[in-house]
Structure 1
Amino acid sequence: MDTILTINNLTKKFGYLTAVKDLSFTINKGNVYGILGPNGSGKSTTLGIVLNVVNKTSGDFSWFDGNTTTHDALKKVGAIIERPNFYPYMSAYQNLKLVCKIKGVDFSKVDEKLELVGLLDRKDSKFQTYSLGMKQRLAIASALLNDPEILILDEPTNGLDPQGIHQIRTLIKQIASNGTTILLASHLLDEVEKVCSHVVVLRKGEKLYSGRVDEMISSHGFFELKAEKQSELIQVLEADANFSSVKTEGELITAFLNQPMDASVFNKLMFDKGITLSHLVKRKESLEEQFLKLTNNQ
Structure 2
Amino acid sequence: MESILTINNLTKKFGYLTAVKDLSFTINKGNVYGILGPNGSGKSTTLGIVLNVVNKTSGDFHWFDGTTTTHDALKKVGAIIERPNFYPYMSGYDNLKLVCKIKGVDYSKIDEKLEVVGLLDRKDSKFKTFSLGMKQRLAIASALLNDPEILILDEPTNGLDPQGIHQIREIIKQIAAKGTTILLASHLLDEVEKVCSHVVVLRKGVKLYAGRVDEMISSHGFFELKCNDQDKLKALLENHSSFGNIKIEEDLITAFLNEPMQSDDFNKFLFEKGIVLTHLVQRKESLEEQFLQLTDNQTNQNQ
The TM-score range, normalised by the shorter chain, is: over 0.9
Asked if the contact 2:93/2:124 (under 8 Å) is kept, the reply is yes
Matches for 1:10-159 after TM superposition, within 5 Å: 10-159=10-159
SS in 2 for 1:282: strand
**1: CA distance between counterparts of 2:239 and 2:72?**
61
**2: CA distance between counterparts of 1:89 and 1:233?**
69
Asked if the contact 2:222/2:256 (under 8 Å) is kept, the reply is yes
**2: CA distance between counterparts of 1:119 and 1:43?**
29
Query: Letter of the aligned partner of 1:239 in structure 2?
Result: N
Query: Letter of the aligned partner of 2:148 in structure 1?
Result: P
**2: CA distance between counterparts of 1:14 and 1:235?**
50
SS in 2 for 1:38: coil
**1: CA distance between counterparts of 2:256 and 2:72?**
50
| Closer, same or farther: CA 287–135 of 1 in aligned 2, 3 Å | same
Matched with 1:295 is 295
Matched with 1:232 is 232
SS in 2 for 1:125: coil
SS in 2 for 1:85: coil
| Cα distance per residue 1:222-249 (max 9 Å; x no partner) | 1001123222322332232222232210
**1: CA distance between counterparts of 2:56 and 2:235?**
55
Asked if the contact 2:43/2:185 (under 8 Å) is kept, the reply is yes
**1: CA distance between counterparts of 2:212 and 2:243?**
25
Once the two structures are overlaid, the 10-residue window that deviates more, 147-156 or 282-291, is 282-291
**1: CA distance between counterparts of 2:40 and 2:121?**
39
Matched with 1:207 is 207
1:219: how far off? 4.3
Where in structure 2 are there 5+ consecutive unaligned residues?
A: none
**1: CA distance between counterparts of 2:260 and 2:219?**
9
Matches for 1:162-177 after TM superposition, within 5 Å: 162-177=162-177
Where in structure 1 are there 5+ consecutive unaligned residues?
A: none
1:123: how far off? 0.8
SS in 2 for 1:136: helix
Is 1:246 the counterpart of 2:225 in the alignment? no
SS in 2 for 1:296: helix
Matches for 1:259-274 after TM superposition, within 5 Å: 259-274=259-274
Query: Letter of the aligned partner of 2:129 in structure 1?
Result: T
Runs of at least 4 residues off by over 4 Å: none
SS in 2 for 1:88: coil
SS in 1 for 2:41: coil
**2: CA distance between counterparts of 1:178 and 1:123?**
23
Query: Letter of the aligned partner of 1:106 in structure 2?
Result: D
Once the two structures are overlaid, the 10-residue window that deviates more, 147-156 or 210-219, is 210-219
TM-score normalised per structure 2: 0.95
**2: CA distance between counterparts of 1:272 and 1:57?**
61
1:54: how far off? 0.7
**2: CA distance between counterparts of 1:5 and 1:262?**
40
| RMSD after superposition | 1.2
Instruction: Name the % identity.
Output: 84
**2: CA distance between counterparts of 1:59 and 1:235?**
48
Asked if the contact 2:218/2:290 (under 8 Å) is kept, the reply is no
TM-score normalised per structure 1: 0.97
| Cα distance per residue 1:257-281 (max 9 Å; x no partner) | 1211111111222233332222111
| Cα distance per residue 1:110-155 (max 9 Å; x no partner) | 0000001011111111111111111111100000000000000000
SS in 1 for 2:296: coil
1:160: how far off? 0.6
Query: Letter of the aligned partner of 1:113 in structure 2?
Result: K
Query: Letter of the aligned partner of 2:92 in structure 1?
Result: A
**1: CA distance between counterparts of 2:232 and 2:56?**
58
